[in-house]
A and B are shown apart, each in its own frame.
Chain A
């Protein structure tokens, strides 16, 4: 009989490292994907995912099953992701302020509001990459809500628990996020996806 996540965690608390490995195998991929969609960098996402597991491991002795295990796990992940995104934004802003005004090598700052519209980018960018960028252009909390809702397929109560907001606030957040995506991805809406294997490049 399969043990529940809570039971596995209680076993970890009792000193069973095999149960920790079981949780690691079960959640490493969902966590890395969630974090990758949040921070848009696989190496950073993996570092953060390891940090999540490490925090779970450190907290094993104090663990009490007061909330659903995944709520706890993804709350840690969300907080780490939001901090990482904010730190990176501050770093980028710092770089742009210090960079020479007309430096030849200075890359344009990746602020979503200043990026060219989707229809302008389509000629040179991959369809999937456009969707990724549209997700990434959402405000952090909206992005987390969309990713948890769409990719982790969590219910509203659990997502609200992770984001520490009411269910009503979460639904409003999701509505606003989809409104933004509706505008950002409008050119793709009437364009059917290319068959798999061609990786969605527009013809």
Chain B
């Protein structure tokens, strides 16, 4: 194996954490590579040097400062905290506006009375009137006032038609 192929395993070899295979590969390489033998010796020296740096102790008062910071933490989120995030606030406002707009438009979209069916047309004139008196299209005073005339003309039309038929022979005459 070349130097570059074993270099990844050198630190694990030095700190004796290499796997059996890794160790065998490195040992085989070191047997024929004086440069890497020197490198491994120096790595051991570096590991010893690093061990010379003493540890420090946290300063007096570390724990007290820590607990002060913990005590300053909010223990439980209040209902008001729910409102604080800007995204939630914006979403709530948008929903409120949408609801308001929808409610303002609601009466215009909803039909006030059911649309009369053909069966209703054949009902009595009083029922017809009740059914259609509130319709928007008939909120015309003229139409409403002439409603009786319209219903009469509707019933009179077949008579006129019959009359016209009976008149035809005389005109031909």
Contact = CB atoms under 8 A, between A and B. Distances in A.
Interface of A: 17, 20, 24, 28-29, 32-33, 36-37, 42, 46, 49-50, 53-54, 57-58, 127-128, 131-132, 135, 146, 149-151, 155-156, 168, 171-172, 174-175, 178, 181-182, 185-186, 188-189, 193, 200
B69 A54 contact: yes
Contacts of B59: 42, 46
B159 interface: no
Contacts of A146: 50
B85 to A, nearest CB: 16
Interface of B: 7-12, 15, 17, 39, 42-43, 45-59, 62-63, 65-66, 69-70, 73
- Main SS class of interface, B: helix
Question: Which of B45, B46, B56, B58 gathers most chain A CB within 10 Å?
Answer: B46
A24 B66 contact: yes
Contacts of A175: 7-8, 10-11
Contact of B63 (A24, A37, A128, A182): A24
Q: Top 6 nearest A-B pairs by Cβ distance?
A: A171-B8, A189-B45, A174-B11, A32-B58, A181-B46, A150-B50
Contacts, number: 97
Nearest to A155: B17
Given A135-B50, A189-B46, A50 B65 contact: yes
B53 A131 contact: yes
A46 B17 contact: no
A70 B17 CA distance: 20
A171 B12 contact: yes
Contacts of A182: 39, 42-43, 46
B2 to A, nearest CB: 14
Nearest to B38: A182
Given A57-B70, A172-B8, A181-B46, A193 B52 contact: yes
A128 B53 CA distance: 6
Contacts of B47: 150
A50 B46 contact: no
Nearest to A36: B56
A185 B45 CA distance: 10
A188 B55 contact: no
Given A50-B65, A189-B46, 16 more contacts: A29-B58, A42-B59, A50-B66, A50-B69, A54-B73, A131-B52, A150-B47, A151-B55, A171-B9, A171-B11, A172-B7, A175-B8, A181-B46, A181-B50, A188-B49, A189-B45
Nearest to A43: B59
B58 A49 contact: yes
A125 to B, nearest CB: 14
A127 B11 CA distance: 23
A178 B39 CA distance: 10
Contacts of B54: 128
Contacts of B65: 46, 50
B42 A189 contact: yes
B56 A33 contact: yes
A178 B41 CA distance: 12
A46 B62 contact: yes
A159 B39 CA distance: 24
B75 to A, nearest CB: 10
Contacts of A171: 8-9, 11-12
